[in-house]
Structure 1
């Protein structure tokens, strides 16, 4: 498996990460293509896939299935330019708990 990072998000977020040095950026123009892009990124064996919370919420079942079946790729959800989404459970907290086995305290 390659040790690459990909960003799949809105155009502004992808541009920001690419300016920061991430080489693989995939702008999502509509939610239908986001699912196809996510499947392609998993098939390309990326180690880390960064996406926004809004996209992550639309593909929650797929992301949960992928992250529970294998360690990589790690799918990390970040806030987009409009800010964080209020949620009952935090996907990042769950990822940390699963990977290191420790519950983070708020």
Structure 2
């Protein structure tokens, strides 16, 4: 039987967001590039939805990522994927951005 990766193996935080959010977190030290793999994606109005979806799936399937941060307005673009993610690791957290206020009313308990 294959051994599942431990939470101790998950060392990174990934982010999918606007330029300001990603830059701020990269300056805080979360950036990691290993060859062609990186743990961040800058999204603007020209970024295709397919690229956001592919990156989200990649980040949620990587065994070295513990948390995926995503701007709420970006998560709205791929809402079905975000809502379908039901694993404890990586944890997906929606965060506000400078230009888009956080919509707490959208979340139901």
Calculate the TM-score normalised by the size of structure 2.
0.70
Deviation at 1:62, TM superposition (A): 0.9
1:72 equivalent in structure 2: 89
Q: Does residue 63 of structure 1 match 2:71?
A: no
Structure 1 stretches of 4+ moved >4 Å: none
Distance 1:55 1:31, change over 3 A: farther
Deviation at 1:71, TM superposition (A): 0.8
Q: 1:84 aligns with which of 101, 105, 108?
A: 101
**Structure 2 residues not aligned, in runs of 5+:** 32-38
Instruction: Return the alpha-carbon distance in structure 1 between the equivalents of residues 100 and 70 of structure 2.
Output: 13
Using CA pairs under 8 Å that are at least 6 residues apart, name the structure with larger relative contact order, 1 or 2: 2
Name the count of aligned residue pairs.
90
Instruction: Return the alpha-carbon distance in structure 1 between the equivalents of residues 11 and 60 of structure 2.
Output: 13
1:41 equivalent in structure 2: 59
Q: Does residue 53 of structure 1 match 2:53?
A: no
Distance 1:53 1:31, change over 3 A: farther
Calculate the TM-score normalised by the size of structure 1.
0.72
**Structure 1 residues not aligned, in runs of 5+:** 95-106
Q: Does residue 22 of structure 1 match 2:37?
A: no
Matches within 5 A, 1:87-98: 87-90=104-107
Deviation at 1:14, TM superposition (A): 0.6
Greater percentage in helix: 1
Greater percentage in strand: 2
